[in-house]
């Protein structure tokens, strides 16, 4: 059919039904041959009358034409499937192609070319090689392709290092802003709608951190069983590091007054006004204080108390990030889990405000920035296939404004499927990772050159020289080295023409540094 000319199409139509001359003229003018006939759909046939202006062709005639065309397309597609299946069976390969072709059917209103050609001619819907496994050759089989996202451990380590550095910077900035906190006597708390109308609850801030600990526990469980945990960790570290790095800037450039009179904040507590302390000593003191904040995760239940780090709330950032990551990377039908995480997030924010530890603007800005960054990042990551052309045409700007996104998401195409490991598969996977690591260490150890000491090198060269001398003069060397060391044995020498009556026994003492240590034979 794909090789039909215009005359062949007219003959086929005349053999199927009686059509008007106007329809044949339309097919001739529009140059509808066999290949075009296979790619037509119902809207194309309808456009012959309503868009191309062939008003002489009746509506019923167009419907009959489309009926015969659709039957021809289905028949052609069935023949091509059988032919392709037979080729696969004759080639000795697996019959997965035949199974796929047998399960594939043309959708209503579609055409044969749209159902068959994508498997052999087009690769627009096939995943990239980095995310597709078992996609041989150029054939694209989306139903057979098994999604495979590379873990990319090095990139995950880079994101972890980035987050680690940012947490240290944040701790150091918190020490600096505590030294610059405004005097509570000169700068009273700013007017705030929520704080002015909600009484102070002393235990509320501890409850906020407990809710955050619950969310973190749920997130650890999700990470443990998720199949693509490395991608999740990479994104979590990247987003958390970016948000907290932005928080360092907002904390440092503007110092807000203490939001509550119950807070004991005095810049003299952290001030370094000792004239005997030089710059290096002051830096060491600040780094020691920063380590206390960093090791305690900035949590009051760990004994960390800081002031001046108000714009914006770090506790709100942590709660919001954990909530969004849990809801994004768990199945959509877990309504109870998602409702619980959102309630914990909202109650955590309420506890922050009820404890009068932050202004309302601190919490609002923290929630807005964190949620927007999360949504922007995942919108770009989940739609890389559609934004690929845009990113290619403006790759320089993309690398400048989204450097971490361009690096971390380079080999991740589309959404990450929420697939989870069972406990048994997780154990076997961990065992396989340990075996792989052991093999790598053994391989590295075998190829690692071990330096020899001077003594061992001297012994090696002396032994080598001894071997060379023995190989050069075997008889003389053996006689000279063993004759002086004989003990308890008579040196019997046979007279000419006679044989000795007693055997000659030689018991040489082994000489240090020679390879011989026994009686010669």
- Judge if 109 and 160 occupy the same domain: no
Residue 32 three-state SS: coil
What is the C-alpha radius of gyration for the chain, rounded to an integer number of angstroms?
Answer: 41
- Asked if 142 and 159 touch (Cβ cutoff 8 Å), the reply is no
Residue 226 three-state SS: strand
41: nearest Cα among 71, 1, 70, 61: 70
Q: Which of 407, 431, 455 is the last residue of a domain?
A: 431
pLDDT at 487 over 60: no
Q: 268 in a domain, yes or no?
A: yes
Prediction pTM value: 0.59
Range of the domain at 340: 153-382+415-431
Among all chains, which residue has been given the structure tokens 């989306």?
142
Q: 237 in a domain, yes or no?
A: yes
Cα–Cα distances (Å) from 238 to 145, 159, 163, 232, 505, in that order, read: 29, 6, 7, 10, 83
Q: What's the DSSP call for residue 236?
A: H
Q: What is the pLDDT of residues 28-56, one digit of tens each?
A: 777 778 777 787 777 777 777 665 566 67
Work out the pLDDT band at 222, boundaries 50, 70, 90. very high
- Judge if 167 and 313 occupy the same domain: yes
Run of H or E including 115: helix 112-120
Work out the pLDDT band at 183, boundaries 50, 70, 90. confident
142: nearest Cα among 124, 153, 126: 126
Question: Strand pairing partners for 420?
Answer: 226
Distance CA 404, CA 81 (A): 46
- What is the average per-residue pLDDT within 100-107? 41
356: nearest Cα among 277, 447, 259: 259
Q: 346 in a domain, yes or no?
A: yes
Q: What's the DSSP call for residue 56?
A: T
Work out the pLDDT band at 458, boundaries 50, 70, 90. low
Residue 147 three-state SS: strand
Give how many domains the chain has, as a whole number: 2
SS (H, E, C) 410-478: CCCCCCCCCCECCHHHHHHHHHHHHHHHHHHHHHHHHHCCCCCCHHHHHHHHHHHHHHHHHHHCHHHHH
Q: 405 in a domain, yes or no?
A: no
As a whole number, the mean pLDDT across the chain is 75
Q: What is the pLDDT of residues 248-296, one digit of tens each?
A: 999 999 889 999 888 888 777 777 777 777 888 888 989 999 999 999 9
Q: 295 in a domain, yes or no?
A: yes
499 conformational bin, left if phi > 0, alpha if psi -120 to 50, beta if neither? beta
Q: 313 in a domain, yes or no?
A: yes
Distance CA 23, CA 65 (A): 9
pLDDT at 160 over 90: yes
Catalytically active residues, by annotation: 315, 358, 362
Q: 242 in a domain, yes or no?
A: yes
**What pLDDT is attached to residue 352?**
95
Q: What is the pLDDT of residues 389-402, one digit of tens each?
A: 455 555 677 677 77
- Judge if 191 and 291 occupy the same domain: yes
Cα–Cα distances (Å) from 300 to 189, 219, 291, 453, in that order, read: 21, 21, 15, 56
**Beta-carbon contacts of residue 57 (< 8 Å; ≥ 6 apart):** 20, 22, 23, 26, 48, 49
Q: Which of 69, 100, 115 is the last residue of a domain?
A: 115
Contacts 24+ apart (CB under 8 A), 478-485: 478/520, 481/508, 481/511, 481/514, 481/516, 482/506, 482/508, 482/520, 485/509, 485/511
- Judge if 165 and 312 occupy the same domain: yes
156: nearest Cα among 144, 147, 164: 164
- Judge if 67 and 188 occupy the same domain: no
Work out the pLDDT band at 407, boundaries 50, 70, 90. confident
């Amino acid at each position: 059919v794909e090789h039909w000319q215009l005359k062949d199409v007219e003959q086929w139509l005349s053999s199927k039904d009686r059509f008007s001359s106007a329809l044949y003229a339309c097919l001739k003018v529009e140059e509808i041959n066999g290949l075009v006939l296979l790619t037509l759909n119902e809207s194309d046939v309808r456009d012959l009358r309503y868009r191309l202006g062939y008003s002489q062709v009746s509506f019923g005639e167009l419907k009959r034409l489309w009926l015969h065309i659709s039957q021809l397309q289905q028949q052609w597609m069935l023949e091509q499937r059988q032919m392709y299946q037979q080729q696969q069976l004759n080639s000795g390969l697996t019959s997965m192609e035949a199974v796929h072709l047998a399960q594939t059917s043309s959708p209503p209103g579609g055409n044969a070319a749209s159902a068959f050609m994508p498997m052999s001619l087009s690769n627009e819907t096939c995943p990239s090689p980095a995310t597709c496994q078992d996609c041989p050759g150029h054939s694209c089989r989306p139903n057979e392709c098994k999604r495979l996202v590379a873990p990319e451990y090095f990139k995950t380590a880079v994101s972890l290092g980035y987050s680690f550095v940012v947490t240290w910077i944040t701790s150091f900035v918190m020490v600096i802003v505590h030294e610059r906190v405004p005097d509570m006597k000169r700068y009273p708390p700013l007017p705030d709608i929520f704080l002015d109308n909600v009484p102070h609850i002393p235990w509320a801030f501890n409850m906020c951190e407990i809710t955050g600990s619950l969310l973190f526990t749920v997130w650890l469980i999700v990470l443990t069983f998720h199949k693509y945990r490395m991608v999740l960790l990479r994104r979590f570290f990247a987003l958390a590091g970016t948000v907290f790095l932005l928080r360092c800037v907002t904390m440092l450039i503007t110092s807000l007054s203490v939001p509550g009179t119950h807070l004991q904040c005095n810049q003299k507590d952290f001030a370094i006004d000792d004239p005997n302390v030089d710059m290096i000593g002051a830096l060491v003191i600040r780094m020691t204080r920063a380590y206390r904040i960093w090791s305690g995760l900035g949590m009051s239940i760990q004994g960390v108390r800081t002031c001046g780090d108000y714009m914006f709330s770090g506790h709100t950032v942590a709660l919001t990030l954990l909530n969004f990551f849990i809801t994004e990377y768990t199945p959509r039908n877990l309504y109870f889990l998602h409702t619980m995480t959102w309630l914990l997030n909202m109650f955590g924010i309420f506890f922050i405000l009820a404890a009068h530890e932050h202004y309302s603007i601190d919490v609002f800005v923290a929630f807005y920035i964190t949620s927007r960054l999360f949504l922007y990042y995942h919108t770009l990551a989940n739609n890389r296939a559609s934004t690929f052309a845009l990113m290619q045409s403006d790759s320089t700007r993309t690398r400048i404004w989204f450097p971490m996104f361009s690096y971390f998401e380079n080999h991740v195409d589309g959404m990450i499927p929420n697939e989870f490991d069972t406990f048994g598969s997780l154990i076997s996977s961990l065992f396989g990772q340990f075996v792989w690591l052991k093999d790598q260490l053994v391989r590295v150890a075998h190829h690692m050159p071990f330096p020899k000491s001077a003594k061992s090198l001297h012994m090696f060269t002396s032994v080598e020289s001894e071997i060379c001398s023995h190989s050069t003069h075997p008889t003389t060397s053996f006689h000279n080295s063993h004759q002086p060391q004989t003990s308890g044995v008579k040196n019997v020498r046979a007279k000419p023409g006679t044989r000795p009556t007693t055997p000659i026994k030689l018991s040489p003492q082994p000489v240090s540094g020679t390879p011989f240590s026994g009686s010669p034979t």
